[in-house]
Amino acid sequence: MTTQSLTRNQGLVFDVLSHAGSPLSAYSILDKLRDDGFRAPLQVYRALDKLLEFGLVHRLESINAFVACAHPDEGCHAHGLTAFTICETCGQVTEFHDHMIEDRLKGFAKDRNFKTGKTTIEIRGTCAGCA
């Protein structure tokens, strides 16, 4: 997935997320794109849906917000399970990948014949800089 093949709206949303230092809600993305002609939440949600599908953006379930992927060139889907630390003070998000955890969760699911879809791992807390 390259950033070239995005539509105008997808590109605008991705750009906003890429330049934000922290996660943004759909509505704050909307606010930032008013000048670019955005008027309704759906314009943002539709673009986000596609960006999520492409692996360019992640949704943080525990805070209802979105961040650009840390390595969008490959599309994050290449990296398997993605986990996050989220600083509740400054909003800093760190994305990481741990094969051991991934295997462990896969194993648990397999043992129970549970067919795994999307998996969420989010650690909320305080980052080193804010401690």
Query: In the complex, what is the shortest distance from the CB of residue 112 to its own copies, in angstroms, rounded to a whole number?
Result: 6
**# residues near its own copies by CB under 8 A:** 33
Per-residue x/- track, 108-127, its own copies (CB under 8 A): xx--xxxxxxxxxxxxxxxx
Residue 1 and residue 31: Cα distance in Å, rounded? 27
Residue 32 and residue 28: Cα distance in Å, rounded? 6
Q: What are phi and psi of 65, to 5 degrees?
A: -145, 170
Per-residue x/- track, 61-100, its own copies (CB under 8 A): xx--------------------x-x-xx-----x-x-x-x
Residue 122 and residue 86: Cα distance in Å, rounded? 7
Q: Is 87 annotated as a binding residue?
A: yes
Residue 89 and residue 86: Cα distance in Å, rounded? 9
Which residues contribute to the annotated binding site for Fe cation?
102
Give the footprint of its own copies on this chain (CB under 8 A). Answer: 61-62, 83, 85, 87-88, 94, 96, 98, 100-101, 104-105, 108-109, 112-128, 131
